[in-house]
């Protein structure tokens, strides 16, 4: 049997970064300071500069980044927030924790991103307090078009950049368009830590100050809480040091991901498999997702050749059993259709050219 091609291989990634990561961890261990120290501050400065924002606040994970970022914008109980339902429940989980109501927007079949025509219709009905724009699978949305809609409605746009580290459009990176934005540094992300981690970026100093307080119990000084809704959600020094070491390599990794995606899009030729178009810097290929009219048959065919796949994501948020009280959302036909037909292929920087060729050949001959 041929050697297995995994959907991702963190072992290869760890080997390629071992020297830099080990040096960073050892530096933190020697310092004796493990929470909210110099490496955390340095990473926040470095990542803010990389994103093109004035502020970066490290937090414990990407979902906390969404929740605390939205809370800092004034979102809370009773707020109505537009979002998509095809992005793995993460934003919806944060909204539930805030006591806010998700207002689900359908997605475009081609990009898999929020359908702006549908968003316009929802905005015209009024009553929204914010819009969360998810740059799904690593594709940066047309944020100028989004901001035209949100500006007319007078509501903030919040970017979910968990899968789009480094994506650029018009010279600006993901996270620099909205009022604020969230990032995840989960190990499989384009920029990943060795555990959980996240961040909020923003140009607004008041939003930044509120997130800094919220991540540590709402304190404005030690043991003095001036802001409700705070918690313990801090990016620790070891994870920050690791992210600092990896950040200079991110653009190179993104370029390799994009090269693999480009090969897939150009060379996979099959009447039953729809590939994304070839994109430029707006796509950092966090996940390479195709559409197939018989997903399970294609998955089985690939598995028989030791090529692993995944589905991101098989159940729309509003069809999750835990959220049954949200009611039926029959008005989101594209979201439902994609949930039944999307398939994720292996796409990560350490994937070899020969492995990419194997994936292409296996699909083309299906």
Over range 110-117, report the average pLDDT.
Answer: 98
Residues 6 or more apart in contact with residue 195 via CB below 8 angstroms: 187, 239
Q: What is the pLDDT of residues 34-54, one digit of tens each?
A: 999 999 999 999 999 999 999
pLDDT (average), residues 10-19: 95
pLDDT in tens, 236-255: 999 999 999 999 999 999 99
pLDDT the model gives residue 331: 80
Mean pLDDT of 320-344: 89
* 175 in Cβ contact with 184 (< 8 Å): no
Domain 249-364: which CATH number of 2.170.8.10, 3.90.1150.10, 3.30.360.10, 3.40.50.2300:
3.90.1150.10
Q: How many C-alpha atoms does 188 have within 13 Å on its Cβ side? A: 12
Task: Report the C-alpha gap between 82 and 149 in whole angstroms.
Answer: 12
How many C-beta atoms surround the C-beta of residue 212 within 10 A? 21
The predicted structure's pLDDT at residue 100: 98
**203: phi then psi, degrees, rounded to nearest 5:** -95, -10
Residue 326: the pLDDT is 77
Q: Span 3-26, mean pLDDT?
A: 96
Find the mean pLDDT for residues 333-358. 98
Count of C-beta atoms within a 10 Å radius of residue 250: 18
Q: Is the Cβ–Cβ distance between 142 and 157 less than 8 Å? A: no
Asked if residue 325 has pLDDT above 90, the reply is no
pLDDT reading at 330 higher than 70: no
- Percent of the chain exceeding pLDDT 90 equals 97
What band does 22 get if pLDDT is binned at 50, 70 and 90?
Answer: very high
Q: Is the pLDDT of residue 329 over 70?
A: no
Q: Nearest-CA neighbor of 111 among 89, 136, 144?
A: 136
Domain boundaries, the chain: 10-248, 249-364
Question: What is this structure's pTM?
Answer: 0.97
Mean pLDDT of the chain: 97
**83: helix, coil or strand?**
strand
Average pLDDT of the segment spanning 302-329:
91
**pLDDT digits over 304-315, tens only?**
999 999 999 999
pLDDT more than 70, % of the chain: 99
pLDDT tens figures, 177-200: 999 999 999 999 999 999 999 999
Fold of 10-248: 3.40.640
């Amino acid at each position: 049997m041929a050697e297995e091609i995994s959907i991702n291989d963190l072992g290869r990634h760890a080997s390629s970064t071992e020297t830099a990561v080990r040096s960073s961890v050892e530096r933190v261990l020697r310092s004796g300071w493990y929470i909210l120290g110099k490496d955390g501050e340095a990473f926040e400065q470095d990542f803010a500069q990389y994103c093109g924002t004035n502020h970066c606040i490290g937090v414990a994970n990407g979902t906390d980044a969404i929740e605390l970022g939205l809370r800092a914008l004034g979102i809370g109980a009773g707020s109505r927030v537009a979002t998509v339902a095809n992005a793995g429940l993460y934003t919806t989980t944060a909204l539930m924790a805030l006591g806010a109501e998700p207002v689900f927007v359908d997605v475009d079949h081609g990009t898999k991103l929020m359908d702006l025509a549908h968003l316009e219709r929802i905005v015209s009905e009024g009553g929204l307090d914010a819009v969360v724009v998810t740059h799904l699978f690593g594709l940066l949305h047309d944020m100028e078009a989004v901001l035209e809609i949100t500006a007319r409605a007078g509501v903030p746009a919040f970017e979910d950049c968990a899968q789009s580290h480094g994506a650029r459009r018009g010279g600006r990176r993901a996270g620099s368009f909205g009022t604020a934005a969230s990032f995840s540094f989960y190990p499989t992300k384009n920029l990943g830590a060795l555990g959980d981690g996240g961040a909020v970026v923003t140009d607004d100093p008041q939003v930044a100050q509120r997130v800094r307080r919220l991540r540590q119990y709402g304190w404005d000084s030690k043991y003095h809480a001036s802001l409700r809704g705070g918690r313990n959600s801090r990016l620790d020094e070891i994870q920050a040091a690791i992210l600092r070491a990896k950040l200079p390599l991110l653009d190179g990794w993104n370029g390799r991901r994009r090269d693999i995606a480009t090969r897939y899009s150009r060379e996979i030729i099959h009447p039953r498999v729809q590939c994304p178009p070839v994109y430029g810097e707006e796509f950092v290929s966090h996940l390479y997702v195709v559409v197939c009219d018989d997903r399970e048959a294609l998955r089985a065919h690939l598995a028989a050749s030791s090529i692993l796949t995944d589905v991101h994501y098989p159940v729309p948020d509003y069809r999750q059993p835990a959220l049954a009280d949200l009611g039926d959302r029959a008005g989101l036909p594209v979201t439902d259709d994609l949930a039944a037909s999307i398939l994720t292929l292996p796409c990560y920087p350490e994937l070899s050219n020969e492995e990419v060729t194997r994936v292409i050949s296996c699909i083309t001959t299906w």
